[in-house]
Amino acid sequence: MRLLMVEDEQRLAKMVAAGLTAEGYAVDLAHDGRTGLSMARIGGYDAIILDIMLPAMNGYQVCATLRQEGVTTPILMLTAKDGEYDEAEGLDTGADDYLTKPFSFVVLQARLRAMMRRGRSAAPTVWRFGDLTVDPATRTCRRGGEEVELTSKEFSVLEYLASRAGEVVSKTEVLHHVWDFAYDGDVNIVEVYVSNLRRKIDAPYRRNSIATVRGAGYRLAADGG
């Protein structure tokens, strides 16, 4: 999943981003409201973590503007304030959830997962493609009932392909969704991860679930190959 964190406490932002990255998320950071608003408008994020007390433009204003513009990305508000009126104002401006500082990283993750599940309620809890299953909640993959060990980034690539199963997905789309803005390497890194996935989820089982569509990208077979 791809996240945007808008937080002016840079040390806190970097710590949280590092933790979320280790869990397989791609995380972009902004440290003021105006920058966060611009990134949220164009980033294609799965969720936004938004502090309230921000320079240039506060979190309430950012949230309200996004909702007025029709941006429906789930928003989790962070604040040092713990008054019920502050929480009510955040929710009234369009936030989906509210977390008071200091907070537990475990709770933050749980809130994000719950919020994104609500935001994509039409999506299946577990994707099944023949005997291949992909479970975003537990970040596990199974082939024929046997668990396949994947790295965090390998799972993120597979998860994105699974979310678009049957469709052709370009390398650029995968890169944009799985890697953050800070990545400035070669787009062909996607080939490396797709090759790793084929080696782990296809070759040992004599399957061919990820097809290369020449000049266009990749397609995960809806029947699991």
Starting at the edge strand that comes first in sequence, how are the strands of the sheet with 132-135 ordered?
127-129, 132-135, 140-143, 146-148
Give the residue from 93, 89, 83, 7 showing the smallest Cα distance to 49. Answer: 7
| Cα–Cα distance for residue pair 97/38, rounded to 1 Å | 21
Asked whether 143 and 131 are in contact (CB, 8 A), the reply is yes
pLDDT of the residue at 54:
93
The closest of 168, 154, 153, 164 to 201, measured between CA atoms, is 154
pLDDT of residue 82: 62
**Residue 191 CB: number of other CB atoms within 10 A?**
14
Percent of the chain with pLDDT over 70: 92
* Tokens, residue 29: 């950071």
Give the Cα separation of 95 and 30 in Å (integer).
Answer: 18
**115: number of Cβ within 10 Å:** 19
Q: Which two tokens stand for residue 30?
A: 């902004």
Model pTM? 0.65
Per-residue buried b or exposed e for 24-49, using 16+ beta carbons within 10 Å of the residue's own CB? bbbbbbbbbbebbbebbeebebbbbb
So what's the pLDDT on residue 81? Answer: 65
Cβ-contact 193, 154 below 8 angstroms:
yes
Strands 140-143 and 132-135, bridge-based pairing: antiparallel
Which element (helix H / strand E) includes 146?
strand 146-148
pLDDT along the chain (225 residues), means of 10: 92 92 88 94 88 92 91 88 62 84 88 76 71 88 93 91 91 85 79 95 94 92 88
